[in-house]
Amino acid sequence: MEAILYEKLDNKKVKCTCCYHRCVISPNEFGECGVRRNRNGKLFLEVYGRAIAVNIDPIEKKPLHHFYAGTEAFSLGTVGCNFTCKFCQNWDISMATRDGTDIEDLELGTKLSPKQIVEKCLKFGCKSIAYTYNEPTIFTEYALDTAKLAQKHGIKNVYVSNGYMSPECVELIAPYIDAINIDLKSFRNKFYQELSGVRLAPVLKNIERFRNAGVWVEVTTLFIPDENDSEEEMRDIAKFLVKIDPNIPWHISAFYGAYKMKSRRSTPLSTLIKAYKIGKEEGLNFIYAGNVSSDKHTATYCPNCKATLIQRLGYNTRTEGIVKGCCSKCGTKIPGIWSDEYKNPLAEKPQNPEALAAVVYGKKGEKKVSERDPFFGSLFDQEHRILILFGTQTGTSEELSRRLYRTLTTHNIIGSAFDIKVRDMEDFDPGFLPSQTIVLVITSTHGEGEPPDNARVFVNYLISATSGLSSHILSQTRFAVFGLGSSIYGGRYQRAAITIDSCFQNLGAERIAPLGKGDEADNSIDKTFDTWTQSLIEQFCGKLGGFPTISQKNSIQKKQSSMFQIFFKDENNTNQMEVENNANISSIHNSRNPFSARVIFNTELLGEGREPGRSCRWIRLDVKDSGFQFQGGDLAGVLPENDPQLVKRLCSRGGFDFQRVFDVKPSTKKVPKPMSIGEYFSCYCDISGPVPPDVLSIIASVFCNGENDRQNLIKLSQDRQAYEEWMITHKRGIVDVFETFQSVQLPLEFFIENIQRLNPRYYSIASIQKDGEQYLDLAVQVVEKGVCSNFLQSKQKDSQVKIFVEKSPFKLSLEKPNILIAAGTGIAPFLGMMMQLELVPKNKRKALYLFFGCRTSKFDFIFQKEIQDFIEKGIITQAFFAFSRDQKEKVYVQHLLNQNSSLLNDVISNDGCVLVCGSKSMGNDVRKTVAQILGDKAYRKIQDEQRYLEESW
């Protein structure tokens, strides 16, 4: 039968809207449940009219203890399920479609139409029909037709469900369902993800939805030893139910080994007694133990006088204590549906479709749990999905996204309430953006103010949607944007983030935090990002926000698994994998497909007698056949490799097999292909970079076995001064952490999830392309413990370096006078610019002034001969040199600029440009000097007009 709950998409794909998976299904494929199939662009329910299990059961077996007690239910189920519970009791039918067997080869059960079901129910005198054994949501259309017909004959309808149906499904079936028992398997999202393959939050929301829709609701929790049986979790569940209504019956059930958890020990009676007591302490009136023999804990008691109302021995029920829906002793009304005449539901059924929709979708006018308590307001925030998208050119945005993910998932409230994912914008289809409920975007700005390369498709989608007047398409989405950039770029500053932010708002999305702007110019990115993150946490948690204590983190993190799963390969697969990886290599070279350039020469630029340990390299690379096109000011991205000795130390300390090949799922650019552990640590993992404080906190709470080490790590993660001294000042990384704290043991998954990828390093190209010349020059200042500079320093003639080229807006204006200000290797892009200017006829050249600074004229004046040649050829109109250590009082380029302020004013008044290249500190000093000479207003004007350009590091 054709399904009701689905949408047709392009290319004959369909989107099933029956449950919260919302599967997008290609032709002839099945959804997650294994029974809903796309047949030529239409969705069909393959088990309609096929009941694999049919029985007449006591209603108490469902279990429902406050719904027509002592009656029988005609019970049926099909094959399939939308969960993958490793502890499933009915796995033989629910998991029948999970092993790859075609549904057409399965025994689907007895052909039983809705009419035949109702006829049998009447024949056997059953009060109700129970849709059970497997998840009824997946056969909604079958259940719906049966329930409609049953209702006409006065037969009640009961769901025994995992509670994962979509709002559309609730709206469809609620008018025909009289009672539902929902499994609340845990109060931790990680439990649901790891053991059931789904999320917690939709289940919580649906308990409230059905209650408000007038359906009698009871809840069951199966307590599994060491998984969900902590006192803290028991109390959380009880608090949750009390907030909805203290009269919801809570069934606490004992686990017995089944399916993939057969070897797990059974739940002792003491666990259920503990849950029983906790539930009572929190205010629940009706709690029932299941799967154990304990008459005391299976009976129903009056919440007022404590009289025994219903006695249960197994499924034998005696209800003499309830008369006309009330306690026979004190007359207190007992919540439940006891008969057709005497019933007391928690809520009346909505009287019309509009009222029902208001309940299901949380429209105004309906009282919700979120209006009564801010904690549960955060749990029930729309569909409880948080999607973190990053747009990045150098990897910083990705690292901040991972940091945000760690912060949110380890938060004691948010981590349980929300399903949180991090996605590269390039790997996310923006066509699915309207179905997202909370989107957090972190992006840098690149080039002339464009989005990063991996974000272009995403941003173009937003711009196109906005220009197409689709002002409503993100009306169900909430969003926040954080941008990275440098205010030195004037009008280009944060342009990509601003564009994304405004598009979301124009498309109807609701803002949950102001646009965050991390400014690299004043080193405020981390501080601004932390403030922005805290504003999100306050939005998600309301008044009960805050971070967990270290003990709380222990309880959360110890149960967390990595977001990545490792798959090790045997040696026989290696060659095949290399063939597969090489098959898709593009002819266009970029950061993911770099060009292997041969080193032509690698020579020292600093003079003999320089300070010990100081080095600056001039490296020429052969780029023949690369297809590169570059000009002065463009950038070369270099893919470095870690120090082999550092990699060796890491593998030795961690017990990693250098040669062993592995792959990960889900796929990630941190491990873009199957590779050896040695290659991963050498080329893809930044093992030298500082370990963020939040990662140190995770190490302390999860991977540290020694109390002394744990406390020291906690101090480093919480004491900013101690962290700066130990980690930043001494330039330590994860290897130092590993070796210093000997009780720490880190699995491979930890590095993939928490340690930043080894990203490309960018250098200004110190040459241009001329006829017949196929080389590219770099000037590299060697930095102590600098990954890339030390890597390049070690490259000998004819060795290979992986590179790519990126265009840069840092360009000389050939039609205007220019002032070039550089220090040290900041001269590199200007060399290429002056080579380019050399090709311009003399009568068309404009004035060019160079301010250059370095430590000493004798040892540090790099490219002195080339600069002198440019002066002699008239390329440089006038040069000013600042050798800071050649005299007692240090002189820097900003001092020379101050001394020649009239020159600066003259160039600017003639529509000229200022280009600055050097360290961040040098750039800050020059910026302040220029603003002081010109005045703030004039300085901002040339910034906005892009006549003041800066490259700094």
The mean pLDDT of 351-380, rounded to a whole number, is: 54
Does residue 557 have a pLDDT over 90? no
The mean pLDDT of 404-413, rounded to a whole number, is 80
Nearest to 446 by CA among 484, 480, 481: 484
Sequence-distant (6+) residues with CB within 8 A of 65 are 218, 249, 251, 286, 288, 300, 310, 312
Q: Which residue ranges form the domains of the chain, and what is each CATH number?
A: 49-297 (3.20.20.70), 381-547 (3.40.50.360), 588-640+760-808 (2.40.30.10), 818-952 (3.40.50.80)
- Lowest-confidence region among 185-199, 547-561, 650-664: 547-561
Tens digit of each residue's pLDDT (9 = 90 or more) over 29-69: 999 899 999 999 999 999 999 999 999 999 999 999 999 99
- Mean pLDDT of all residues in 167-189: 93
Of the pLDDT bands very low, low, confident and very high (cuts 50, 70, 90), residue 188 is confident
Q: What is the per-residue pLDDT for 389?
A: 96
pLDDT, tens only, 883-932: 999 998 999 999 999 999 999 999 999 999 999 999 989 999 999 999 99
> Is it the case that residue 802 has pLDDT exceeding 50?
yes
pLDDT at 885: 92
Question: Using CB atoms within 10 A of its CB, is residue 579 exposed (0-12), middle (13-18) or buried (19+)?
Answer: exposed
What local confidence, expressed as pLDDT, does residue 57 receive? 95
Of the listed ranges 6-10, 542-546, 819-823, 872-876, the least confidently predicted one is 542-546
User: 377 pLDDT exceeds 80?
Assistant: no
Q: Does the pLDDT value for residue 618 go beyond 60? A: yes
Asked if the model's pLDDT at residue 499 lies above 90, the reply is: yes
For residue 787, give every residue at least 6 positions away whose Cβ sits within 8 Å of its Cβ, in sequence order, or none.
640, 642, 643, 686, 688, 689, 758, 761
What value does the mean pLDDT take over residues 567-578? 53
Handedness of CA 501, 503, 506, 511 (dihedral sign): negative
The band of 3, judged by pLDDT with boundaries at 50, 70 and 90, is: very high
pLDDT at res. 346: 64
**pLDDT on residue 79:** 93
Whether cis (ω within 30° of 0) applies to the bond prior to 434 is no
Cα angle for residues 871, 872, 876 (degrees, 5° grid): 25
Tell whether the model's pLDDT for residue 699 goes beyond 80.
yes
Quick: pLDDT tens for 223-259: 999 999 999 999 999 999 999 999 999 999 999 999 9
pLDDT for the residue numbered 789: 95
Quick one: tokens of 626?
């690369």
- How many Cβ atoms from other residues are within 10 Å of residue 609's Cβ? 8
Are 765 and 828 within 8 A, CB to CB? yes
Are the C-beta atoms of 383 and 202 separated by less than 8 Å? yes
Average pLDDT, the chain: 87
Structure confidence at residue 412 as a pLDDT band (50, 70, 90): low
| Segment 663-684 mean pLDDT | 89
pLDDT of 925-952, one tens digit each? 999 999 999 999 999 899 888 899 988 8
Does the pLDDT value for residue 293 go beyond 60?
Answer: yes
Report CA-CA distances (Å) from 452 to 395, 433, 484, 717, 951.
10, 19, 11, 31, 17
Helix (H, G, I), strand (E, B) or coil at 226: coil
Cα distance between residue 347 and residue 566, in whole Å? 48
Which strand (E) or helix (H) includes residue 175? none
Is the pLDDT at 744 greater than 60? The verdict is yes
Contacts 24+ apart (CB under 8 A), 557-561: 557/410, 557/698, 557/701, 557/702, 558/701, 558/702, 559/188, 559/190, 559/191, 559/227, 560/190, 560/409, 560/410, 560/702, 561/190, 561/194, 561/749
Q: Give the model's confidence band at 362: pLDDT under 50 very low, under 70 low, under 90 confident, else very high.
A: low
Q: What confidence score (pLDDT) does residue 480 get?
A: 96
DSSP-based three-state secondary structure for 673: coil
Query: Of 359-368, 548-557, 836-845, which range is least confident?
Result: 548-557
The Cβ-side half-sphere exposure at 598, using a 13 Å CA radius, reads: 7
Q: Please indicate whether residue 130 or residue 291 has the higher confidence score (pLDDT).
A: 130
pLDDT score of 342 more than 80: no
**Best-predicted range by mean pLDDT (168-172, 406-410, 617-621):** 617-621
Percentage of residues in the chain with pLDDT exceeding 70?
91
Which residues are 510's β-sheet partners?
478
Is the confidence at residue 527, as pLDDT, over 60? yes
Give 824-841 pLDDT, tens digit per residue: 999 999 999 999 999 999
**pLDDT confidence bin for 504, thresholds 50/70/90:** very high
At 56, is the secondary structure helix, strand, or coil? strand
CA angle 648, 650, 655 (to 5 degrees): 95
Task: Answer with the residue of higher pLDDT: 134 or 586.
Answer: 134
CA distance to 43, 425, 794, per residue, from 24 (Å): 11, 19, 51
pLDDT digits (tens, 9 = 90+) for 415-450: 766 778 888 898 888 877 877 889 999 999 987 788
Separation CA 393–CA 188 (nearest Å): 35
Residue-level pLDDT at 546: 35
Least confident of 382-391, 529-538, 923-932: 382-391
- Per-residue pLDDT reduced to its tens digit, 63-122: 999 999 999 999 999 999 999 999 999 998 998 887 666 676 677 888 999 999 999 999
pLDDT at 545 over 90: no
Higher-confidence residue of 427 and 181: namely: 181
Between 320 and 780, the higher pLDDT residue: 780
Task: Retrieve residue 867's tokens.
Answer: 């600069």
SS3 readout for 557-578: HCCCCCCCEEEEECHHHHHHHH
